[in-house]
Structure 1
Amino acid sequence: MVQTFWSLIPPLLAIGMVLLTRRVLLSLGVGIVASALFVKSFHLTDSFSLIWSAFRSVFWEEGSVNTWNVFILLFVLMLGILTAFVGMMGGTQAFGEWMVKRVKTRAGAHLMTMFLGVIVFIDDYFNSLTVGQIAKPVTDKHRISRAKLAYIVDSTSAPVCVVAPISSWGAYIIGLIGFVLTTHAVTDITAFMAFIYMIPMNFYVWAALGVVLVISLRQVDFGSMKVHEEQALRTGEVKRAVDQQTKSKHMLPTSSFGRISDLIVPIAVLFIATIGFIYWTGYTEVDGNGTLMDIFGEADVAKSLLFGGITSLVVTFILFFKQSKQSHFKMREFFSGVKEGAKSMIPAFLILIFAWTIADLIGELGTGEYLAAVVKQSNISFSLIPFVIFIIAGFIAFSTGTSWGSFALLLPIAGSIAAATDISLLLPLLSAVLAGAVFGDHCSPISDTTILSSTGTECDHIDHVTTQLPYALVSAGIAGLGYLALGLTSSVLTGLIVVLVSLIILFFSLRKKNNSHFEQEKEDTIAN
């Protein structure tokens, strides 16, 4: 069953159950068991032994601690604690009141979040977990649902990182491109320049950002997102009622002496410290002799997030104790903040562990290898190859929950297809792989970026997945048209024009329903 059609069943079963039952851990658990049974041909003892091995590898691998996963999990817990203390100090409320006077419309709040997502391009994990923290006070004041916030954050994390050469993604992709160029003796272009030339060819990035821009400017929603947005406008409740009830059970005290700096300083320290540690961990690996790209390529992002989180927490605790005399906080409030902040991240903590476990088992199944082989062996028209590569890469990333794994699988295959057919297709096909993998990762409920986007915005994970999916599919449809145009005309400019025209058509085809009574109620509430 390994590397055959049957290898598709377990990941699709898990994803289907997630969407139908909304019970993430149960669905991932079923997928984990099914994957192990398929790998071990339904031998129960061997299957459960494999499950234990995959679970253990999340924390312990090759005789040592799996520092990447452990550091990411610790950072998630620290972010929950940081959020709790910023709220207790009144920083969230003060920042929201300050920003809402400057960002006066819902469209402005959308665009502010999009702008933050675009400029924080160093790493997708860092983007997903921090942009939402900064934007939440403003979007909450403007009654923007957490589902919409999670969508904007997710749409500006991986889609931006994949075209940013100075990022963890850029360094990884350039390394893979270099391998492809060397394999096929392409010497007239460097891996870095190939990456630069591929940026405009990554149609999904421009389509995804374009759809966010259109939705933000038109203030029109569809699918289940519309339900969340209408609830937020009507009631001011930016999360589902069940989430609000859960939160109210663990209400932490909030200081009335909060200042903007109580939010800005912890987040700024987190940002600066993390970037500093990314540079430091990379610099020590290249012995100071590498370029900036080499430094980012060798950086340990997970360790940098951990150290940046610790630094920010220390600063936050100092601010808390400094303010405690005014606010009459006692040590029990401090320990409550630590406890409730960490507890708030437990659902994301568990989902990540289950997602990494099933990703390991899907790797054992060879799902990606099977689909990659189908692409390589298919006999299709040259003009359709970029479009087909885009779709297959999307399906692989959606099924496996990893865009990086899809890059590693498909970039060499795309290079081989170009070398065997028309070498001028090399960069367009590599771009189609990157675009498709980001699309699949963007949609997948088992993608760590998707999980962390819902975590960073405090949005129910399944709410995020189901509300984002229609928007991601629209973006993929626009990108697909671009790749069809590219394949038929061999012109990147034509493909970009098709994407742009499609976005313009989308802009003018969306009609805003009259929600003036909701808007007026919102404005009256903010004014008061």
Structure 2
Amino acid sequence: MDAVLNWTYISLIPPLITLILVLLTRRVDLSLGIGILTSAIVITNGNIGETLSKIWHTFIDLIIEDGWLNTWSAYILIFLALLGIMSAFMSMSGGARAFTSYAMTKVKTRTGALLLSGVLGIIIFIDDYFSAIITPQVSKPLTDKYRVSRAKLAYLVDTTASPIAVIMPVSSWGATIMGLTAPLLVAAGLTHITPFESFLYIIPLNFYSLSALLLMFVVIFTNFDIFGMKKEETRAIKDGILYDNELEEDELPVAYHSSKNALIVPLVGLVVGVLAGMIYTGIKESGSLNPLIILENNSITHALIFGGIIGVVLAVMYYYRFTKQDDNFSSHETWLGFKNGIEAMIGPIIVLILAWMTGELIGELGTGELLGEMVKNSNIEAAFLPAIVFIVACIMALTTGTSWGSFGILVPIAGNIIITLEAPELLLVTIAAVLAGGVFGDHCSPISDSTILSSTGSGSDHIVHVITQIPYAMIAATISLVSFLVVGFTTSTALGLLVMAGLFIILILLIKVLYRPIETTEK
């Protein structure tokens, strides 16, 4: 039995190797590649032929499923290419420059540019992928103008993507979480609470998401830049270097006469197209007009493609509108827009594919199930369970790169532990702990797809984004852990929130007394 147990724990080694290599080398592609190889070796017991076959079939399964195109992964990759093309033409049409000039008349401080980015991320709550891609496209021209590092922008984008999606009932996450919660409510005898009502109860209990969002505003208004983020922001403010030189794209020609609509209209077309696609696919799949059911059954990948095509078409139309009389633009520049747009996304696409392969192999290793069983088999007092489950969910999402995987594995396990212990008063806070830990792991995992999309959309080096975001995630996680302990022992949501607020007040006071922000020219 001990031998079997020890062998089972080997499933933790590949994800740990990947995480350590990423942090040491800052080469996410190399680290993921070694993680994939290590995972495949463990799965095949070291058989070289089977290892190579496993890696190949894992890659093919991302593209082909049941003899057909795997639309989930393929459409996301296609959408990234469309986004690159759309961004190139919005730049060449002069729309980005015109929008910046317009925004400068409305937003006149660096803090205002940061605040706009954060608030925009909160407003776009319908889906984390959607938010991670759209928010930086609108914010980047303005944050660039005020010398905000791309790492800081990526932090704002990532902090408002998953945390908002997971606490909004009207989001692509909300309906799925309700579906996971429903059978547990019945089993716990809480039939007087509907899944929708339970979700509303869970919102104030998701201490990590709330802490991460509150901390973001603290960072915005106090310029609380620490560790790697302080280095990135100092370089941006003092030297005007917003990101690493190797990330710089080829220069594209820009139309001299343009309008902010060349940026706004394609983005609005993209948003409307995606929302329309979500509604259409949701109704088609479910046959219902109920908004929650539509959200639960929509195909976000199909919707992204539909919106992406609309965005590209509108961007190209504005490009021709403002360049057709300009002798500096010809068919060569048009081809350059398509070429550079796609090339700009090649790196992120490769990383995303490697991250997906890593996630699939780690899933096959059973790393998530192992961590879940550790919670299930632990003989601990019920009051500690929310905090323990939060920690395990953090580790699970960090090592597997997926909050969804953590939800799917840990929500049923944690719920059934609570039911077995006959402590239904702790059911919702324990589910909230799983959701909170999953989002934390997403924020800190270099193989998380939402984190990859946040750095991609913001134009930040991916590893720089992860490393600069981790300290803030750790602060929010520490505050959350204390809050989960308080609620576990008192079953009082209000007291948990009060403790969280008190810890934030202490943090702000410490920042004012001990922290010296980077000097800027902002009044």
Give the TM-score taking structure 2 as reference length.
0.96
Q: Do the aligned partners of 1:201 and 1:492 also contact (CA within 8 Å) in 2?
A: yes
SS of structure 1 residue aligned to 2:191: coil
Shift of 1:490: 1.6
Q: CA deviation at 1:514?
A: 5.8
Deviations 1:128-164 (A, max 9, x none): 0110010001111111100000000000000000011
- What is the deviation of 1:52? 1.0
Aligned-pair CA distance for 1:181:
2.5
2:110 is matched with which residue? 106
SS of 1:162's partner is helix
CA distance in structure 2 between the partners assigned to 1:26 and 1:60 by the alignment: 25
> Is 1:450 paired with 2:454?
no
1:513 corresponding residue in structure 2 = 516
Give, in angstroms, the shift of residue 212 of structure 1.
0.3
Shift of 1:48: 1.4
Q: Hey, what does 2:55 align to over in structure 1?
A: 51
Question: 2:167 aligns to what SS in structure 1?
Answer: coil
> 2:305 matched to which residue of 1?
306
CA drift at 1:290: 4.1
Equivalent of residue 36 in structure 1, options 40, 45, 49: 40
Contact 1:257-1:327 within 8 A present in 2 as well: no
Task: Measure how far apart 1:67 and its partner are.
Answer: 0.3
> Which residue in the other structure is 1:139 paired with?
143
State the one-letter code of the partner of 1:340.
N
What SS class does the counterpart of residue 211 from structure 1 fall into? helix
Structure 1 residue 346 and structure 2 residue 346: aligned? yes
Partner Cα distance (2:299, 2:187) in 1: 27
Task: Give 1:198-237 correspondences, 5 Å limit.
Answer: 198-237=202-241
Partner of 2:479: 478
Counterpart of 2:13 in structure 1 is 9
Q: Which has the larger displacement, 3-12 or 116-125?
A: 3-12
- Aligned residue type for 1:149: L
How far, CA to CA, are the matches of 1:241 and 1:513 in structure 2?
A: 28
Q: Per-residue displacement from partner, 1:199-223 (whole Å, max 9, x unpaired)?
A: 1000001100011010101012101
Shift of 1:256: 1.1
The answer to whether the 8 A contact 2:132-2:161 is kept is yes
Give 1:515 deviation, angstroms.
4.1
TM-superposed deviation, 1:513:
2.5
Give the structure 1 partner of residue 404 of structure 2.
404
Q: How far apart, in 1, do the equivalents of 2:518 and 2:425 lie?
A: 51
The amino acid across from 2:450 in the alignment is T
Displacement after TM superposition at 1:381 (Å): 2.0
1:468 corresponding residue in structure 2: 469
Query: Shift in Å at residue 64 of structure 1?
Result: 1.8
Distance 1:135 1:240 in 2: 19
> What pairs with 1:313-324 in structure 2 (closer than 5 Å)?
313-324=312-323
Match of 2:154 among 150, 154, 166: 150
Structure 1 runs, 4 residues or longer, greater than 6 Å off:
none
State the distance in 2 between where 1:495 and 1:5 align.
Answer: 35
Task: Write out per-residue CA displacement over residues 276-323 of structure 1, whole angstroms, 9 at most, x where no aligned residue.
Answer: 111111011122x34110011110000000010001111111111122
Letter in 1 for 2:359: A
- Tell me how far apart the structure 2 counterparts of residues 216 and 25 of structure 1 sit (CA, whole Å): 32
Deviation at 1:178, TM superposition (A): 1.4
Task: Measure the CA separation in 2 of the matches of 1:182 and 1:366.
Answer: 28
Give the distance between the partners of 2:333 and 2:137, measured in 1 at CA: 22
Query: Larger deviation: 180-189 or 202-211?
Result: 180-189
1:515 to 1:475, Cα distance in 2 relative to 1, 3 A: closer
Residues 404-430 of structure 1 deviation map (CA, whole Å, 9 limit, x = unaligned): 111000000111111011111111101
Contact 2:224–2:517 (CA under 8 A) maintained in structure 1: no
Please tell me the residue identity of whatever aligns with 1:326.
Q
Q: CA deviation at 1:185?
A: 4.8
Q: Secondary structure at the match of 2:317?
A: helix
After TM superposition, give the deviation of residue 326 of structure 1 in Å. Answer: 3.3
**Closer, same or farther: CA 515–458 of 1 in aligned 2, 3 Å:** closer
For residue 498 of structure 1, report the CA deviation from its aligned partner: 1.1
Q: Distance in 2 between matches of 1:183 and 1:67?
A: 36
Letter in 1 for 2:162: A
Tell me the TM-score normalised to structure 1 length. Answer: 0.95
Q: Identify the range of structure 1 (45-54 vs 220-229) with the bigger mean alpha-carbon deviation.
A: 45-54
**What SS does the aligned partner of 1:238 have?**
coil
CA separation of 1:463/1:84 partners in 2, compared to 1, >3 Å: closer, same or farther? same
The answer to whether structure 1 residue 123 and structure 2 residue 133 are counterparts is no
**Deviation by residue 1:367-410 (Cα, 9 ceiling, x = unmatched):** 00000000000011222111110000010001000111110000
Aligned partners of 1:86, 1:160: CA distance in 2, in Å? 28
Distance 1:139 1:155 in 2: 16
Higher mean C-alpha displacement, 98-107 vs 135-144: 98-107
The amino acid of 1:8's aligned partner reads L
- Aligned partners of 2:311 and 2:94: how far apart in 1? 17
CA shift, 1:101, in A, is 2.5
* Mean Cα deviation higher: 145-154 or 321-330: 321-330
Write the letter of the residue equivalent to 1:412: P
Count of aligned pairs: 515
User: Which position in structure 2 is the counterpart of 1:239?
Assistant: 243
Partner secondary structure for residue 325 of structure 2: helix
Distance 1:222 1:301, change over 3 A: same
The residue identity in structure 1 corresponding to 2:103 is M
Alignment RMSD, CA only? 1.4
Identity %: 43
The answer as to whether partners of 1:391 and 1:436 remain within 8 angstroms in 2 is yes
Partner residue in 2 for 1:326 = 325
Match of 2:379 in 1: 379
CA drift of 1:494 comes to: 0.9
The yes-or-no answer on 1:73 pairing with 2:81 is no
- In the other structure, the counterpart of 2:395 is 395
What corresponds to 2:179 in structure 1? 175
